[in-house]
Each structure stands twice: as C-alpha cells, then as structure tokens.
C-alpha cells in the first residue's frame, strides 16, 4: 500500500514539474494598518510568488483567490473570481505588495462587515486570517495556497476630563498646580501607551485653534506610562495682568514604539480633541459659577 502512495505522489510531482511549479509566500504584518485600502503600504507586508517552469513549459498566467476569515473561521469576504486580475508570472521570484494579495477592490464582503467598511474603511478589532490561493488561469485549480493570521486593532483616542472645556481656574492655585485628567485609550491592552500632555498659550489676536495649530507648546511632557493624570507645576506669574490667561491643551497618545496612534487624519498625530481653560483672578472678577460643558465641548 505504501509503495502505491509513494508512486502516486512521485507521479504528481513529476506532472507538476512538467507543467511548472508555483510556490506562494505571504509575509503579512501581524498587525497591519486597520484601513484595508492602505494595505499596499509596504509596512503591511509583501507577497512572493515563485514560478519555475517545468520541462514542458508551464502556464505563467494565474489568478488569485483571497478569502478573509474571522475568529470563528467563517469567511467574511471572498474574491469575485469573475473580475480577478490575471497575472503573467515571470520565471523566478515575483514580488507583490500585500494589497495585491488582498485585492480589496475585488472582495465581496458579508453584510455587516461591508456596512462597517463603507462607513469607516476598517474591520472591527479582532483576530482574522488572510487566505490567498494561486489559481490557474481558468480559476478552477488551486496551484498554491497560504493562510496567515493577523490582528486588527482600532483605537478610540482619550477624552479630556479635567480641566473641563472652558473652565476657569483660580490664578493663585493655577500658578502652582494644575491637574490634568483624561480617559484611557480604548482598547487598553497590555502594552500601556504613553500620554504626552501638551499645553499651548493663546496669544493676543489668536483663536484657540490657531494657537493650537500654530504655536509652540508651553508644556510637552509625558505622564508616567499608562497614567491618565498629570500634575503640572506651571510656575508662571498667572495673577499678573500682563500674563496670558487663555490656554488650550490636549493629550497625544503614543504606542510602545513612540508612534502616534493612527487616526483618520494622520496630521492629528494621535491628539485628542483639545479643551480650553482660562485663568481667573479672584481679586478682579466677581464670583460666578461656571457651567462645565465637558460633554458637549464641540465649540
């Protein structure tokens, strides 16, 4: 029995050698960018297809069939083979980016996943698998196949808590100590992020956002890793009437490597929606209560 199996395998190998040999290797970043349309970026990995024509030549024309599987091994997207691109492989090694392996334009997504992608361009956070099959030109024979797992992480930036947007701080306290607090990065994970607290002075004639976008920060310091509170010692003469008394602050969230947490607009560089605080001098101003509007600080 064993000898028959061996002979059969040998015949199959010889047959393949006669028509050429194709091998597939997926070098997929285990944490690729969450935006599937950006997978052609080299940071996400590469695909290598090696083509060695056999004695009888071999067909260099192939198509790719891609399947995305979720955590429970169910397919959430499959290539529409009718529109699959035909590749003409050159002899030897053929390099592709991982976006070519994904064929995002030609993937047919399941209902909920498709709706989320159309809204956000991203998959929900979780564990997935990318399965790529090299098919013959007709699309009916699998020549090579490889599956690689990957993990999608999608973050929600922290929300600033304190000082609340448009809060008035007492000058005599604020010149010594200001406590900043914010919510954590979601999801938290085991690798604690670094939060940098950044405070900008709003100069005369500037809007708050102008100061935020145009000025150098007065404070740009990291809180202890993972901590969502920072105690600032301003040591500024805040009761002085000449001093600036309007500030805008934010928290910049960086990952373990010190890179900003990715957001829709990369220019934001992981910065949360900023908040303004004012310095009030009790000697000059009547005492008036301040309505904190932290929840609706959208200008």
Partner 1 sequence: MKITVIILLIVTVLVMSTCRVFAQDTRNQQKISLSGEMGITYEYYGLDKSPETPVPDFYAPRKPWNYFRYLFNPVISTNKWLIPFNISFSPTQNNFLTPPTGRRQNLWEFLTNPANNFGVSPKIGTTEILLGTQTLKYSDLSTGDIGVFGYGVNLSPGRFRFKIFNGVSQRGVNYVSPLNFPPNGITGAYKRNQWMAQVGVGKEGVYFAGFNFVRSSDVISSVSSPPLPPVEPQQNMIVSFLTTASTANGWNFNAELGQSFHTLNLNDPLSVTPLADFKPFIKSHTSTVKDNAVMLGIDKKKKEWEIGAKFNYIGAGYYTAGYPFMGTDRMEYLLNTHFNAWKKKLNVVGSVGQRFGNISHLSGPQITTQIVANVNVFAQFSDHFTLNTSFNNYGFNAPGTSAYKSVSNELSLNPVYTWANSKMSNMLSGTYTQSRYDETIFPAPVTHNDTKTVLLLYVPSFFNSKLNPDFSLMWFHNKTQLIELRLWNFSGDVIWNLTKVFNLKGQLQYALSATSPFTSDKNLLTTVGFNWQLYKKLSWQFSATANLYRYGSELPGSSLTPVYPGEPQYLESSVRTGLNYRF
Candidate list 63, 65, 122, 245; residue touching partner 1; CB under 8 A: 122
Q: What b/e readout covers 153-166, taking b as 16+ CB neighbours within 10 angstroms?
A: eebebbbbeebbbb
Residues whose CB is less than 8 angstroms from the CB of residue 246 and which lie 6 or more positions away in sequence, other chains included: 201, 202, 208, 276, 277, 278, 279
- Is residue 49 within the footprint of partner 1 (CB under 8 A)? no
Number of shown-chain residues binding partner 1 (CB under 8 A):
100
Candidate list 229, 232, 246, 278; residue touching partner 1; CB under 8 A: 229
- Is residue 154 within the footprint of partner 1 (CB under 8 A)? yes
DSSP per-residue codes, 29-42: -SS--SBGGGTTSG
Give the dihedral sign, CA 173/175/176/178.
positive
Candidate list 51, 150, 155, 277; residue touching partner 1; CB under 8 A: 155
Q: Position of tokens 């001098």?
A: 281
Output 51 or 212, the one with its CB closest to partner 1: 212
Candidate list 30, 190, 257, 258; residue touching partner 1; CB under 8 A: 190
Output 89 or 178, the one with its CB closest to partner 1: 178
Q: Are strands 167-170 and 275-280 parallel, antiparallel or unpaired?
A: parallel
The interface region with partner 1, picked from 21-29, 66-74, 132-140, 267-275 by CB under 8 A, is 267-275
- Is residue 111 within the footprint of partner 1 (CB under 8 A)? no
Candidate list 12, 13, 282, 285; residue touching partner 1; CB under 8 A: 282
Candidate list 183, 222, 232, 278; residue touching partner 1; CB under 8 A: 183
- Is residue 210 within the footprint of partner 1 (CB under 8 A)? yes
C-alpha 19/C-alpha 22 separation (Å) is 10
- Cα–Cα–Cα angle for 10, 13, 16, rounded to 5 degrees: 150
């Amino acid at each position: 029995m064993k000898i028959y199996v061996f002979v059969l395998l040998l015949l199959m190998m010889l047959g393949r050698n006669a028509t050429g040999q194709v091998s597939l290797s997926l070098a997929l970043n285990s944490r690729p960018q969450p935006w599937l349309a950006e997978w052609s970026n080299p940071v996400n990995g590469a695909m290598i297809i090696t083509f060695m024509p056999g004695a009888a030549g071999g067909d260099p024309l192939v198509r790719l069939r891609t399947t995305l599987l979720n955590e429970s091994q169910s397919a959430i997207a499959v290539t529409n083979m009718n529109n699959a691109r035909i590749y003409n492989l050159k002899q030897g090694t053929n390099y592709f980016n991982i976006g070519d392996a994904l064929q995002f334009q030609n993937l047919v997504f399941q209902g909920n996943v498709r709706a989320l992608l159309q809204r956000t361009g991203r998959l929900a956070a979780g564990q997935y698998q990318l399965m790529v099959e090299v098919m013959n030109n007709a699309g009916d024979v699998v020549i090579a196949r490889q599956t690689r797992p990957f993990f999608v992480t999608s973050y929600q930036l922290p929300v600033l808590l304190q000082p609340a947007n448009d809060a008035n701080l007492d000058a005599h306290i604020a010149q010594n100590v200001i406590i900043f607090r914010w919510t954590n990065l979601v999801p938290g994970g085991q690798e604690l992020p670094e939060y940098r607290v950044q405070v900008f002075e709003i100069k005369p004639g500037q809007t708050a956002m102008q100061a935020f976008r145009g000025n150098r920060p007065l404070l740009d310091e990291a809180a202890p890793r993972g901590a969502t509170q920072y105690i600032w010692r301003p040591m500024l003469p805040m009761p002085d009437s000449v001093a600036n008394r309007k500030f805008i602050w934010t928290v910049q969230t960086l990952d373990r490597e010190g890179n900003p947490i990715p957001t829709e607009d990369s220019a934001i560089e992981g910065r949360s929606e900023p908040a303004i605080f004012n310095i009030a001098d009790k000697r000059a101003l009547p005492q008036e209560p301040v309505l904190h509007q932290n929840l609706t600080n959208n200008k």
